Amino acid sequence: MKQNYYQPSGKFSLKSIVLFFVLSVTLFPLWGGLYAYAIWYIPFIYINFIITGIFAFGIGFMISQIVFKIGKVRNLSVGYGLGILGVCMEILELELPLVIQNLRKLPI
């Protein structure tokens, strides 16, 4: 029986994982720095909420266009895993400097 719709093959290449880590080391820290600067110096909470959504969309867009398209990811589990890992790494990059800064202020 001929199938009339697309079914993922479940394949992925090692290039996709390499591209993900290259993004994580180069573009995500820059993106995180821009985000931290924007959130830190804009005092309006509603604008900060919108900026957070824009930056989250930007991360997802970069992962989908660069890693999934160029890396040819056809496995949904790998795709979801790389997406979640990217968001976790971005959160870590954003929050770690603030945590370190606050730890320095603690009286020990």
Place of tokens 């770690």: 96
- Alpha-carbon distance 10 to 105, whole Å? 50
- At 58, list the tokens: 């930007």
What are the structural domain ranges in the chain?
A: 14-96
Structure tokens given for 1: 């029986």
Could you report the per-residue pLDDT of 64-106, keeping only the tens digit for each?
Answer: 788 777 877 777 787 788 778 877 877 776 777 777 777 777 7
In the chain, at which residue ranges do the beta strands (DSSP E only) sit? none
Model pTM score: 0.59
The DSSP secondary structure of 67-90, one letter per residue, reads IIIITT---HHHHHHHHHHHHHHH
| CA-wise closest residue to 34 among 54, 63, 62 | 54
pLDDT, mean over the chain = 79
Q: How far apart are CA 78 and CA 33, in angstroms?
A: 27
